[in-house]
Amino acid sequence: MANRLFVLGEELENDPLARAYSGMTNPQIVSSLNAEDRSTPVDEVSSSEIFEALDPAEFAGLNNAGKARVDRLLGLGDGIKVVNPSNARTELLALFVAGTQTRTNLAAIASLPASRANELRIGSVSEQNVIDAKAARGI
C-alpha cells in the first residue's frame, strides 16, 4: 500500500501528463485516473484472435504464398507475439497494408483499453487513496 500511495503522490504532485490535477477536486482526480481513456499494447494474442481479425475478402485476395504465410502464423497457437518488433507482427503488416480492414482489426487486438491508474500499476484509485497520497506528500 505504501508504494502505491507513493506512486500516486508522485503522479499528483508532478502531473507528468499535464492532466491538471491541482485544479481538480478529489472525485475528479479519481475519475480522471480510473477512466479508460488510453490504450496499452499487448505482448501476445491468440491465433483465434488473429483469425477473427482477418477480413475474408482480403484473405481471399492474397496469393498462395501469402495464404501459406497466414496459415503458418495461425498454426503457432496461443501466445503469438505481436509486440514491436516480432516476426509475427512483421509478417502480418507485410501481408495487409495500411488502409485495409484486416490491418485495422489487427491494430485493435494489439492493444487494450487502459486507465492512467493501470499504466501506473496502482490499480483502481479511490477517493481515500487520493486523500492519503496528498496527505503523505503535503499537497
| pLDDT for the residue 56 | 97
* Ranges of each domain in the chain: 2-36+116-137, 41-113
* Mean pLDDT per 10-residue interval, the chain, length 139 residues: 87 97 98 95 93 97 96 91 90 93 94 93 96 95
| pLDDT for the residue 90 | 92
Nearest Cα residue to 37 out of 119, 130, 127: 119
C-alpha angle with apex 111: 43 to 5, nearest 5 degrees? Answer: 85
Q: What is the rounded distance in angstroms from the CA atom of residue 13 to the CA atom of residue 45?
A: 36
Query: What would the grid cell of residue 38 be?
Result: 488510453
Is the entire prediction scored with pTM above 0.75?
no
CA 84 to chain centre: 13
Query: What would the grid cell of residue 23 be?
Result: 485544479
| pLDDT for the residue 1 | 53
SS3 content of the chain, % helix, strand, coil (to 5): 60, 10, 30
